């Protein structure tokens, strides 16, 4: 008899299977994780290392990353080749889509993180986590209407969990309902969706052809909800992990918010609550906290300012904090969580709202799939960012032939 991890956890007699389960857990390879992080409005012009492949000297605004030089690489000359408004830097950050391909409408499509999450199916309580800032403003650089970096299969944004207080409660089940009440609520919602599904079938034969597209979009939303509810029901009676990490305040300061979010991201990966995370980093709130005399938008047009440098320095300090957390979390194979993670950190624009040679750092080794400690300078600034997303996707799915317009692996970073 094959004993699954879920069966052993759910069974009242699960203790009988613990020796077998433990043996299987020891034999099972440590799974890879993927993290995608993006800044709004890019970076200052001196952020990049030198244009030399043999030189990984970090700029002063990236000095906090020095301890992780063997765990990170820069990839230069990556560009967004598709049409989009550069003021909305994250609109297509993980989709690489030409959102204006249909005249008169804006259409997006599934993001790289969601394709990876789909491959992992029921492995984790949360197939993916989409995170955003609780202090986001319209000018925060990701784009009006952008609620996260993540885009579902229907082409609509996956709403971002805003702020560390909400994220903590989401990850560790800090609510007043017991498991049976949660299951019953989920079942009730599923029954309501079943009703709407039946009504949509009836409406499809009666409404005008011009309204069919609207109905199909609604049907896509219902199907997405059905899938998420079914997954949640399966996990509803499995206990949440316990943590000694304190519940964050409801309204932390800007820098503290990012730090707390990074802490919780690391814990989510450590407890294997998810293996895929996206995070749309705040920018405006950090500048406000710094007392900056200039906005992110204006700063993008004055990229050599001291304020731009100081902002990037603050962001790299926070990124170093996240990498340190992962580095300190040991895995059963004697390595660490950073080794088993592939994380990208960049922006949808360069300074000045340019979409060529955007900033990009790759961190972690993806379980040995990626080489690090490099300053990779690709031969042409026309190398599509989708090639990078395809390279990461292929490390999870060896059968993948492309991701949107990305069809070439970046061999320089593949181990």
pLDDT for the residue 320:
98
Q: Taking residues 271-281, report their average pLDDT.
A: 96
CA nearest neighbour of 225 among 195, 180, 202, 204 = 195
- Whether 10 has a pLDDT exceeding 50, the answer reads no
- Whether 138 has a pLDDT exceeding 50, the answer reads no
- pLDDT category at 7 given cuts 50, 70, 90 is very low
- Is 383 part of a structural domain of the chain? yes
pLDDT per residue as tens digits for the range 329-384: 999 999 999 999 999 999 988 887 788 899 999 999 999 999 999 999 998 888 99
Q: For residues 133 and 11, which has the higher predicted lDDT (pLDDT)? A: 133
Q: Which among 239, 264, 293 is the end of a domain?
A: 239
pLDDT for the residue 187:
56
Following CA atoms 300, 49, 313, 280 in sequence, which dihedral angle do they give, to the nearest 10 degrees?
A: 60
What is the pTM (predicted TM-score) of this model?
A: 0.83
Q: What is the CA radius of gyration of the chain?
A: 22
pLDDT for the residue 101:
83
Same domain, 201 and 343: no
- Is 184 part of a structural domain of the chain? yes
- Is 245 part of a structural domain of the chain? no
CA nearest neighbour of 42 among 372, 381, 387, 315 = 315
Write down the mean pLDDT value for the chain.
82
Q: For residues 267 and 202, which has the higher predicted lDDT (pLDDT)? A: 267
Going from the C-alpha of 397 to that of each of 272, 294, 339, 391, 403, the distances in angstroms are 19, 44, 19, 10, 11
Best mean pLDDT range from 22-31, 125-134, 207-216, 219-228: 125-134
Q: Which among 239, 267, 292 is the end of a domain?
A: 239
- Whether 226 has a pLDDT exceeding 50, the answer reads yes
Give the bridge partners for 360, in sequence order. 346
User: What does the block give as tokens for 94?
Assistant: 């993980």
Domain span at residue 10 reads 1-30
Task: Calculate ∠ Cα 29-320-295, nearest 5°.
Answer: 130
Same domain, 144 and 220: no
Best mean pLDDT range from 46-60, 140-154, 165-179, 351-365: 351-365
Q: Taking residues 33-51, report their average pLDDT.
A: 89
pLDDT per residue as tens digits for the range 297-338: 888 887 788 888 999 999 999 999 999 999 999 999 999 999
Q: Taking residues 198-212, report their average pLDDT.
A: 58
- Whether 172 has a pLDDT exceeding 80, the answer reads yes
| Percent of the chain whose predicted confidence (pLDDT) is above 90 | 49
Same domain, 22 and 103: no
Q: List CB contacts of 406: < 8 A, sequence separation 6 or more.
A: 96, 384, 385, 386, 387, 388, 389, 390, 391
Q: Which among 218, 239, 260 is the end of a domain?
A: 239
- Is 244 part of a structural domain of the chain? no
- Is 306 part of a structural domain of the chain? yes
pLDDT per residue as tens digits for the range 65-96: 999 999 999 999 999 888 777 777 788 999 99
Best mean pLDDT range from 132-146, 191-205, 221-235: 132-146
């Amino acid at each position: 008899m094959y004993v699954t991890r879920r069966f052993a956890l759910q069974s009242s007699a699960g203790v009988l299977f613990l020796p077998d389960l433990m043996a299987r857990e020891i034999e099972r390879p440590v799974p890879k994780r993927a993290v995608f992080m993006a800044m709004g409005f890019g970076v200052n012009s001196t952020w990049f290392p030198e244009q030399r492949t043999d030189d990984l000297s970090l700029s002063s605004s990236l000095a906090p990353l020095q301890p992780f030089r063997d765990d990170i690489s820069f990839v230069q000359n990556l560009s967004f080749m598709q049409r989009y408004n550069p003021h909305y830097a994250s609109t297509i950050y993980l989709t690489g889509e030409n959102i204006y391909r249909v005249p008169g409408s804006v259409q997006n499509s599934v993001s790289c993180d969601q394709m990876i999450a789909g491959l992992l199916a029921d492995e984790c309580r949360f197939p993916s986590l989409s995170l955003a800032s609780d202090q986001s403003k319209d000018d925060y650089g990701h784009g009006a209407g952008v609620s996260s970096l993540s885009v579902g299969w229907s082409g609509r944004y996956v709403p971002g969990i805003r702020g560390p207080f909400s994220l903590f409660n989401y990850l560790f089940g800090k609510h007043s309902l017991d498991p049976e009440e949660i299951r019953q609520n989920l079942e009730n919602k599923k029954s309501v969706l079943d009703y709407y599904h039946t009504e949509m079938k009836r409406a499809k034969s009666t409404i005008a052809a011009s309204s069919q597209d609207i109905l199909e979009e609604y049907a896509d939303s219902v199907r997405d909800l059905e899938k998420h509810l079914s997954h949640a029901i399966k996990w509803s009676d499995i206990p949440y992990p316990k943590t000694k990490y304190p519940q964050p305040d409801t309204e932390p300061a800007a820098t503290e918010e990012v730090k707390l979010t990074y802490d919780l991201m690391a814990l989510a990966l450590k407890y294997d609550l998810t293996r895929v995370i996206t995070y749309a980093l705040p920018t405006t709130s950090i500048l406000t906290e710094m007392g900056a005399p200039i906005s992110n938008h204006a700063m993008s047009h004055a990229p050599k300012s001291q304020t731009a440098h100081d902002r990037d320095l603050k962001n790299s300090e926070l990124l170093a904090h996240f990498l340190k957390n992962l580095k300190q979390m040991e895995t059963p194979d004697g390595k660490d969580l950073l080794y088993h993670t592939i994380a990208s950190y960049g922006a949808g624009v360069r300074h000045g709202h340019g979409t060529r040679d955007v900033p990009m750092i790759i961190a972690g080794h993806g379980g040995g799939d990626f080489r690090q400690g490099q300053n990779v300078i690709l031969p042409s600034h026309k190398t599509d960012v989708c090639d990078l997303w395809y390279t990461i996707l292929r490390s999870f799915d060896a059968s993948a032939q492309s991701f949107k317009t990305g069809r070439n692996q970046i061999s320089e970073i593949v181990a």
